[in-house]
Amino acid sequence: MTSGLRSGKNYKLPEDKTVTKDENNKLDEQVEQVELDEFEEENVNPFHPKNSLNRSFSKKGETSIGTLKKVEGVNDLSLSEDPSSLSNTKSIPSGDSLEGAASLIVINPETEKTLTLDPTQHGGDHLNNNSHSSNNTPENTVQRSFVEEPIITMSTYIKLKDAIAIVPIFNKKELGLEDFLETVDYANDLISSAEKSTFLKLVQSKIGSEARKALKDAKIDTLAKLKEHLRALYNSGLSVSSLQGLLAQQMQRENESVLAFANRIRDLGNQIIQTQECKGEVPEHFKESTKKSQEESFRSGLLDEISVRLPATNDLTELIKEAIRVEKAINVKREMRKRLEKYCSICKRTNHNTENCRQKLVAVITSGNTNNSQQKSQQKSAKPQCDHCKKLGHTIDKCFKRAYDLANAAQTQTQTQTQTGDNKPTCTKCGKTNHTTDRCLNHIMCDFCKNRGHYEKNCITKKKAESKNSQAPPQGNAPRKDNEEKSHSLPEQSDLLTELLSTL
């Protein structure tokens, strides 16, 4: 029984897998319809979301009337008239044979490979098909051979600019080499093959200036060569045994996080494997031994407060996760303890310490202003002060208030003397009545004793000092005779008496 292909109909593929061609007069005369012989009609869904491969049938140069689809696991073919599914289809040329036509693709569910019509076979002759043959083949049937090929599935890619944005800028001080290369591999898997060469050039721009200069003359046309050059450039130069000893000595620093310490352990493990790869292929037992050494070094190198809380596990990834969880719990307890320990002795509150108290800051600012005012007062006190008006900036001899007061006092005294008939002179400087202004000694200062009221030539203090100096015997000279002392002492005493009488 022969049944033509119809839209929405599904046909079960027989075991002989033969293809027949017949004219379908009910359709357009210019379109050649391919019909399959010995197909049994079934009511199944013709569209399957996984591994559905298409093939259209139409005359060359004409629009396809449908797409032949294979549904995995059912061994059936269906015809779809959806134009959107014809993007990757090919047309069948006109003629009596299928020569030059695109291969019919069918999925073999047992081997999970495609069965493709062999394009090397020519139509018109009955070809041998040892694996799939049928004795009841119609006369208008052409038997074709099938070739098994792996299934090619479509993948979803991202844009090139989004992929290169994933790759960080490589700097050996801030980012490990293996972490950088791992990110590059991840981004490389997200782009199509046509963009990989451009992606390689963009990755080279992400490398630091020093490494980029070192790789300037190197011929790098693949990502594998770039990784090889970078590993050779940043190789530590240590042997495998030296790196293993360094791995065993790793300890977590005081302020280092668990994640940073784990990255150091992983970097050393990667360096050990890479150094071993330079000698040849790395055996599996060597990789397992390195992973075990990483786990032991990580566990023993952690801080005691973290390592004692870790469970007994041999998986490094799980061990790192648990260590990070313990570290977070310890940090939370520390923060709570700090909040309870906070107490301010100034304002008696518990939300801050004494050194962070705002009232203390205000007091410091206020005391600073007080000190500034004291300094200003001290600077002001350095200025001269008047003994009469008690103001700064001038002395008593230049005091205008004193001169004004003396003038008023002299005028008042003159009026009083006129009324009483007393004509004693009055000094306008000191206000006394026993002398005149020109004979006032209050404004006179002695240059020797710095006292007012007399001149230096009349200074008694100076004369006493001179007399003491004259009575002291001179050093290095012989003592005077008694006669000489008597002869010299009388005139000196007479001179002193004369001067004293003159002053009186």
Q: Which of 154, 172, 199 is the last residue of a domain?
A: 154
User: What's the half-sphere exposure (Cβ side, CA atoms, 13 Å) at 168?
Assistant: 13
Q: What is the enclosing helix (H) or strand (E) of 228?
A: helix 223-233
Scored b (16 or more CB within 10 A) or e, 143-159 reads bbbbeeeeeeeeeeeee
- Asked, for residue 49, whether it belongs to a domain, the answer is yes
Rounded to 5 degrees, what angle do the CA atoms 172, 174, 179 make? Answer: 70
Range of the domain at 214: 160-233
Give pLDDT, residue 441. Answer: 67
Instruction: Looking at the structure, tell me whether residues 47 and 185 fall in a common domain.
Output: no
Q: d(Cα 434, Cα 417) in Å, to the nearest integer?
A: 13
Our separate counts of H helices and E strands in the chain read 14, 12
Q: Are 176 and 126 contained in the same domain?
A: no
Sign of the alpha-carbon torsion through 299, 300, 305, 311: positive
Instruction: Please enumerate in sequence order all residues whose Cβ is within 8 A of that of 182, keeping only pairs 6 or more positions apart, or say none.
Output: none
Q: Are residues 34 and 179 in the same domain?
A: no
User: Strand 113-117 relative to strand 10-12: parallel, antiparallel, unpaired?
Assistant: unpaired
Q: Same domain, yes or no, for 91 and 33?
A: yes
pLDDT of residue 328: 92
Helices within 249-399 (DSSP H only):
258-277, 284-301, 304-307, 316-341, 358-381
Does some domain include residue 128? Answer: yes
Residues 6 and 149 both lie in one domain:
yes
The residue from 334, 351, 371 where one domain ends is: 334
Let me know if residue 396 belongs to a domain: no
Residues 5, 141: one domain? Answer: yes
DSSP 28: -
Q: Is residue 194 part of a domain?
A: yes
> What is the predicted pLDDT for the residue at 80?
37
Question: Closest Cα to residue 146, out of 109, 100, 112, 113?
Answer: 113
| H helix or E strand, kind and range, residue 10 | strand 10-12
Which amino acid belongs to residue 6? Answer: R
Q: In this structure, are residues 88 and 64 in contact, taking their beta carbons and an 8 Å threshold?
A: no
Q: Do 97 and 4 fall within a single domain?
A: yes
**For the segment 235-254, what is each residue's pLDDT rounded down to a tens digit?**
767 788 888 888 888 899 88
Quick check: is 356 in a domain? no
Rg (CA), the chain: 59
Give the C-alpha separation, 500 to 472, whole Å.
Answer: 22
Give the torsion through C-alpha atoms of 416, 419, 421, 422, to 10 deg.
0
Domain match, 282 and 226 both: no
Are 181 and 246 members of one domain? no
Structure tokens, 129: 């098909």
In this predicted structure, what is the pLDDT of residue 405?
82
Question: What is the DSSP secondary structure assignment for residue 386, as one 8-state letter?
Answer: -
Residue type, 227: K
On whether both 56 and 193 belong to a single domain, the answer is: no
Instruction: Collect the ranges in the chain with pLDDT lower than 70.
Output: 1-156, 174, 236, 340-341, 361-382, 414, 416-426, 428-429, 431, 434, 437-439, 441-443, 472-504
Q: Assess contact for 62 and 72: CB atoms under 8 A.
A: no
Q: Do 86 and 109 fall into the same domain? A: yes
Give pTM, 2 decimals: 0.37
Which residues have a Cβ under 8 Å from the Cβ of 304 and sit 6 or more positions away?
none
In DSSP terms, 108 is beta-bridged to 113
* Residue 246 falls inside a structural domain: yes
Residue 180 lies in a domain: yes
- Count of domains for the chain: 3
Residue 326: what pLDDT? 92
Phi, psi dihedral angles at 441 (to 5 degrees)? -100, 0
Q: Which of 288, 315, 334 is the last residue of a domain?
A: 334
Is the residue at 378 inside a domain?
A: no
24 plus 85 within the same structural domain: yes
Over the stretch 151-206, which tens digit does the pLDDT of each residue have? 544 456 788 888 888 888 887 776 777 788 888 988 888 888 888 888 988 888 88
- For 338-391, what is each residue's pLDDT tens digit? 776 677 777 877 777 777 787 776 665 565 555 555 555 555 556 788 888 888
Give the alpha-carbon dihedral of 468, 471, 477, 483, to 10 degrees.
170
